[in-house]
Each structure stands twice: as structure tokens, then as C-alpha cells.
Amino acid sequence: MSITAMKQALEALYSDDLDQQSWAKTNLMRAIKRAENRNLYTTPQPRKPLTNEQITEIYTKWESTKGTSWADLMRAVEAAHGIKE
């Protein structure tokens, strides 16, 4: 539910029209339930160090491509940490 729709629903709660009030309550409750099921983070989640196995796998793939740059290796490490542009 968009912010605009939420504002409209809040306005409908104060309406004299009982159908509008019912619509507003139903849709706001749905929006709240959807929001409760999302993982919302206010701070970045801590990242764990790569395991030796992960490091070996990344290095082996990089080494087998002969001719790639160190930057490609660093990008592979970033990707393993979920860092992507």
C-alpha cells in the first residue's frame, strides 16, 4: 500500500460513510500485516568473515581465468559479502 493510499485510508476512517470506514480499516490492517512480515533494518546487518573454503573457492575460480585483474578478484570477494552496485 502506497503512502498516498494510507493517507486516503486514514482520512476515510474519519468519514461519516460507514463503507469508507470499513474499507479503510480492512486495507490498513492488510498493510500492517504485510509490513510486519518484512525484514526492515535501520542499521546494516553485520557481515561474517568468509570461511577458508569460501576463500579457496573464490581464489581458485579467479586463478583459473588467467589474465583477469586483481580488481576482478576483489569484486568476487565483494560479491561473496553481498556488496554489489
pLDDT tens-digit map of 39-57: 666 777 777 888 999 889 9
**Where do the domains of the chain lie?**
3-36, 44-85
Confidence of residue 1 (pLDDT cuts 50, 70, 90): low
Amino acid identity of 41?
Answer: Y
User: How many residues does the structure list for the chain?
Assistant: 85
Residue 67 confidence (pLDDT): 65
Q: Mean per-residue pLDDT for 30-35?
A: 81
Containing 52, the helix (H) or strand (E) segment is helix 52-63
